[in-house]
Structure formats: C-alpha cells, structure tokens
C-alpha cells in the first residue's frame, strides 16, 4: 500500500466547516504529485475522478474525508490542520483549489452487511498547508 503521508494538491475542500449536504463530513479531493500514487487509487477502486482547471486535466483526484459522527454515533475529531512550519492552522474560509498540501490519511475497507460488497474509503487525519498561510484581511 502507498504510504499514509503524501504530497499533492487539494481541491473542493471542506476543512473549515463540514459539508452537511448528505452525510456531514470534512473532506477534500486530493491529487497526488506522482502518477504512481494516482494509479494506485484508481487500481484499488477508491472514489476517484479527473480534476480539471481552466479546461485542462490536472490529474486524478481521490476523495479523502472524515465523517462528523462515527458508526456508533460518537462525534469524531476534526482533521488536524497545520501550516508549513508545523504550527496549528485556524481557517476562516476554505483552502482555494490547487493549494499545495501534505496529507496524512488511513485507507480502510469493509464488507457491506447486506450486499456483501467491499466498500473502501480514506479517512483524512491531518492536512499541512505547504503554501503561504492565507491572511484574514
């Protein structure tokens, strides 16, 4: 398995506040820097898609998320956020698409109890913003 720490670009971030549209969760679409990692996620059937910016393909992104509540109803901790100096980062708005990040994650899989289908996902543990920290004003 590819390591649980990787560098790349972040798109469609929900790190400041969770996305509550369907299942409340913090998430981002992550485009790894290397083709090997991108192919790993596609080959192993994770939730991937091709990201585009200004009509040009950027690469293959994978969904990394953390639900607000776990399977047994307990409230889970928000993914940790750090700046490039490894100091805690407080966000006032979401990271812009294309931000350079380093992510820590954990891949998981389970068998669906009713369909016996294998379900896979990626739990987002921490995000380090490698760009300059956005200023509040």
Instruction: Count structural domains, the chain.
Output: 1
Q: Read off the pLDDT of each residue in 103-110 and give the average, rounded to a whole number.
A: 93
CATH number reported for the structural domain that contains residue 43 in this entry: 2.40.50.140
What whole-number distance in Å separates Cα of residue 102 and Cα of residue 119? 25
Boundaries of domain holding 120: 5-129
pLDDT band at 137 (very low <50, low <70, confident <90, very high): low
How far is the CA of 109 from the CAs of 61, 86, 95, 114, in angstroms?
A: 19, 30, 28, 15
Phi, psi of 42 (to 5 degrees): -65, -50
- Own/partner long-range contacts of 50-56 (Cβ < 8 Å, ≥24 apart): 51/11, 53/97, 53/98
Q: Read off the pLDDT of each residue in 100-114 and give the average, rounded to a whole number.
A: 92
**pLDDT digit string (tens) for 50-85?**
999 888 999 999 999 998 887 677 778 899 999 999
What is the rounded end-to-end Cα distance, in angstroms, of the chain? 42
Task: Please indicate, yes or no, if residue 137 is contained in any of the structural domains.
Answer: no
């Amino acid at each position: 398995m590819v390591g649980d720490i990787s560098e790349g670009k972040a798109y469609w971030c929900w790190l400041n506040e969770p996305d509550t549209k369907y299942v409340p969760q913090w998430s981002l679409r992550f485009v790894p820097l290397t083709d090997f990692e991108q192919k790993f996620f596609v080959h192993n059937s994770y939730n991937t898609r091709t990201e585009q910016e200004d009509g040009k393909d950027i690469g293959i992104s994978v969904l990394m998320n953390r639900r607000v509540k776990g399977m047994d109803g307990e409230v889970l901790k928000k993914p940790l956020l750090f700046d490039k100096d490894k100091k805690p980062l407080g966000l006032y708005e979401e990271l812009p698409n294309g931000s350079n990040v380093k992510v820590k994650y954990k891949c998981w899989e389970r068998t669906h109890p009713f369909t016996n289908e294998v379900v896979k996902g990626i739990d987002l543990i921490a995000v380090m913003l490698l760009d300059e920290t956005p200023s509040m004003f």
